[in-house]
Amino acid sequence: MKGLALFVLGAIIGLFVGALWIGPERVGELSDEGVAAINGAVDRYSQAFATNDWPTFVTHYAEDAVAMPPNAPAVQGRAAILEMAESWPTVTAFSPMVAEIDGCRDLAFLRGSYTFSVMPEGVPEPLEDTGKYIEIWRQQADGSWLIAAEIWNSDNPPPAPGETGQ
């Protein structure tokens, strides 16, 4: 009986500590306005990506954002993300498809897929890719939503050994 009482007491303390850890700023669902703001931001950064407007594209990232591109180390900070984007080949088409946005008050995740085409220098035809991504969005003090972290990867198989993928 004493063991059961200690278990129940431990569970109550655990619930209390968990509630404090979550805190009042995390309680509540993501508002419809938050979802609409994120969708609008996705539309704007997609347009900037599709037109190779990297300075506008990176304004959708928090200053301390982390981007986790495929087959490369993580990139930390808006300036480093801009440098990474400026190294990409010319984008000729980009289309993200948002599958889900969910979260709570000032923190949201977005799950989706994409298709895009790029035209690397010296390649006769554009290269196409399809893949999926996850983004974590954080609401800023001014009410805007910015990407705090993201990761994406291709659905295409990697090139066979000795192939360049072009």
Question: pLDDT tens digit string along 20-62?
Answer: 555 545 557 999 999 999 999 999 999 999 999 999 999 999 9
Query: What's domain 28-154's architecture?
Result: Roll (3.10)
Beta bridge mates, 119:
90
- Rounded CA-CA distance 143/157 in Å is 40
- Written as six digits, the tokens of 158 are 């990697």
Q: What is residue 156's predicted lDDT score, i.e. its pLDDT?
A: 92
On the question of pLDDT at 15 being above 80, the answer is: no
Average pLDDT over residues 144-158: 95
Taking only the tens place, the pLDDT of each residue in 61-100 is: 999 999 999 999 999 999 999 999 999 999 999 999 999 9
pLDDT band at 161 (very low <50, low <70, confident <90, very high): confident
- First-to-last alpha carbon distance for the chain, in angstroms, is 69
